[in-house]
Structures are given as C-alpha cells and as structure tokens.
Amino acid sequence: MLVFDSASVPMRDRQSAVVDSITSAAGATFMTPNRGGERLHLRLHAWDLGGVEVVDAKCSAHTLRRSARHGSDDEPVIAVTCGLLGRGLHLQHDRERPVQPATIWATNLAEPYVHHVTDTWTTTAKVPLRLLGVPHDLVGPALQQIGRSPLAPLFSHHVSQVRKLADDINDAAIASLGTATLALARALLASVSTDDELAREAFEDSLLPRVKAYVRAHLADVDLDAASIAAANHVSVRQLYKVCANADLRLEQWIIQQRLERAHEDLALATPTPVSVSALARRWGFADASHFARRFRAFYGMSPREWQALNRRH
C-alpha cells in the first residue's frame, strides 16, 4: 500500500517530509538530499507480511547515514535490498558494496552505515534478526557476501512478485508470503555462510519456495515433471514429494492449476485476432488440446472457447 508520496506534500514542507519518511523507513539518523524543490521526490509503498516488511521506494539522489550512537537499543533488523534503478555505494563494517540495478546488498539497520546514491528505485525486505534464527556472529560476514549468493536472483524475483501482488490478496496469502520471504532471506544468508548446519537447514526451509518459483518459470515446458523439478533443485524425487506433502501440496495437480490460471488469463485478453485454443494449450505446457479443454471446463465450469467468447462480447 502507498504510505508516502512527496507529490501530495506542499513544496514548503516537502524536504522535511521526505527526510522524515526515508530516515524512518531506512532506520537512518540523517538524510541529505542531493536535490531540492520539485526535483526532490520520494514515493514509498510498504506491506506488512506478518513480522516481515517489504518496502518499495523511488527516491531522488541522496545520502543516508546512521550514526554509531543512534538507537543502540533498537531491535536488530536485517534489510535485504534489491536494486532496480540508480547507482551508488553502500558502506557498512568498513566494506563498500556497489548499488546498481540487478544487485542485492544487505544492511543491519541497528548498526552504523552510509548509503550514497543517485535517483533510485529499490525493493527491500526488512526481517527482524530474531526471526532469521542465524547466530549473531555469522550475520556480519554473511551480509558482506550476500550479493554473491546463487539465490540472489530468486530472492529478487520473489520480492518483485510481492510488490505486484500484495495489494490484491487476502490475509492468509499475505501470511504465506511472509513465511516464504523469511525462508528465502534465511537461505540467502546461509548460502554465503561458513556454517554447514545452518546452510543445510536453510536449504530445506527454502526448498518449497524455490520449487514453486521454478515451476512458475517453466510452465510452458511440456516435459515439466517431478524428476526435472527435483534435478533442477538438487534433491531427490522422494525429498521433493516429502516437502510438498508437508505443505499439503499435490505437486502435479498444483502444476495443472497454475497452467490453467495462466491460460484463463490469456483467453480473457482483448486481441484483434483470438488465439486458438490448441495454440494456447501448447503455450502453457498441455500437449493435448482436448485434455486441456476437459481440465479447463472441470476447473472453471465452461469451455475455453466459451470463456474466450464471453470476454470478447464484453
């Protein structure tokens, strides 16, 4: 949900409002804008996922600082940030990390840092350290290496989906997103940690979110099955089914449901030339158009052609 938009603030109050909003969101002590007047802007969206917060921010060029003496009693919160636009430097624990699109960096918001950037767009997951279950002595080194994690692209994709979906889903789904975000954040830290036990636990915790992400990215593959999913995620088919069963997820049926939902959306699109049902079936991984039509009718109560015609009439 939108929590702040500088465009709605009178010009005379804009700088103070922007400074207050961004320092609060970033756990900072000071914020120095690099621009003034109409060129100074900030737009913040935030979603509470049940202990985990996701913040989407578009802001003009600035420098953020947190002093060494500020808020020493604050609960440690780890902010994992995904860069979408803008460049700069992030400094914490005497280590500089680049800020740029398609990168991830992390910050302990209870400790000093400096963040200097051009106009930026970022999405950040803020996770209380106590929820991560990571020993404090492992956190600092892991935060410095987090951008090198092989799970970084998956985490970026996940928070981008949270940003798109969170305003339109119910409370139960929001809680599930929070659980998945927490598991992925823990796995992200563990993947660059030297603690083998932590890495193993985090790998298991994050397996289901990773499996779901893989399936959604490969729905068009007619050969998508348990064996290919297990191989892509470096687990046995038995382990894959076990983690799905623990989550009360029937894998094959869930894959079909995901494919049907995508086809349902595509059939509702207004296009000059309607896509054929057989072509749409192939697009979403159904090798047999008749099988697709039967499953579609069973799921939605009408045939694909009837749903397509209904949407074209309206």
What's this model's pTM, rounded to 2 decimal places?
Answer: 0.69
Domains in the chain: boundaries: 2-190, 255-313
Residue 52 has pLDDT above 60, yes or no: yes
**pLDDT band at residue 314 under the 50/70/90 scheme:** low
Mean pLDDT of all residues in the chain? 87
17-29 mean pLDDT: 93
CATH class of the structural domain 2-190: mainly beta
User: What are 37-50's pLDDT values in tens digits?
Assistant: 778 999 999 999 98
- CA separation, residue 222 to residues 255, 283, 299 (Å): 11, 9, 20
Q: What local confidence, expressed as pLDDT, does residue 140 receive?
A: 77
User: What are 58-70's pLDDT values in tens digits?
Assistant: 999 999 999 876 5
In contact, 286 and 292? CB cutoff 8 Å: yes
**Proportion of the chain above pLDDT 90, given as a percent:** 50
Range scoring the smallest mean pLDDT among 18-22, 171-175, 290-294: 171-175
**pLDDT band at residue 166 under the 50/70/90 scheme:** confident
**Proportion of the chain above pLDDT 70, given as a percent:** 92
In contact, 149 and 132? CB cutoff 8 Å: no
Q: What local confidence, expressed as pLDDT, does residue 217 receive?
A: 78
**pLDDT band at residue 101 under the 50/70/90 scheme:** very high
Same fold, 2-190 and 255-313: no
Q: What local confidence, expressed as pLDDT, does residue 202 receive?
A: 64
Residue 34 has pLDDT above 90, yes or no: no
- CA separation, residue 137 to residues 4, 49, 213 (Å): 36, 27, 31
Q: What local confidence, expressed as pLDDT, does residue 232 receive?
A: 84
- Taking the CB of residue 104, how many other CB atoms lie within 10 A of it? 20
In contact, 184 and 178? CB cutoff 8 Å: no
User: What are 264-312's pLDDT values in tens digits?
Assistant: 988 888 676 778 889 999 999 998 999 999 999 999 999 999 998 888 7
Q: What local confidence, expressed as pLDDT, does residue 199 receive?
A: 61
Q: What local confidence, expressed as pLDDT, does residue 173 receive?
A: 76
User: What are 210-250's pLDDT values in tens digits?
Assistant: 788 788 878 889 899 999 999 888 889 998 999 899 889 99
User: What are 139-164's pLDDT values in tens digits?
Assistant: 777 788 888 888 888 889 889 888 88
Superfamily of domain 255-313: Homeodomain-like (1.10.10.60)
Q: What local confidence, expressed as pLDDT, does residue 143 receive?
A: 83
CA-to-CA distance for 150 and 79, rounded, in angstroms?
Answer: 18
